[in-house]
Amino acid sequence: MKNYILKILVFFLILTTFTGCSVIGDIFEAGMWMGIIIVVLVIALVFWIIKKLL
């Protein structure tokens, strides 16, 4: 049960890390391709976490 709760907490920590207008602005300042790569990696990470939980 502790492992499950830890996974949920890590997921929400990652989710809140990538929120906010300043982060989005910084991503697009770095370039469109960097933004696309980061978004793809975040989506892959979310799917990986969901797959591990199920």
pLDDT value of position 44: 92
Q: How many domains does the chain have?
A: 1
> What is the C-alpha separation between 24 and 29, in angstroms, rounded?
9
Q: How far apart are CA 33 and CA 52, in angstroms?
A: 28
pTM of the complete model? 0.45
pLDDT for the residue numbered 11: 73
Q: Please give the chain's pLDDT, 54 residues, in tens.
A: 667 777 777 776 666 666 566 666 766 676 777 778 888 999 999 899 888 887
Tell me the residue range of the domain where 43 lies: 2-53
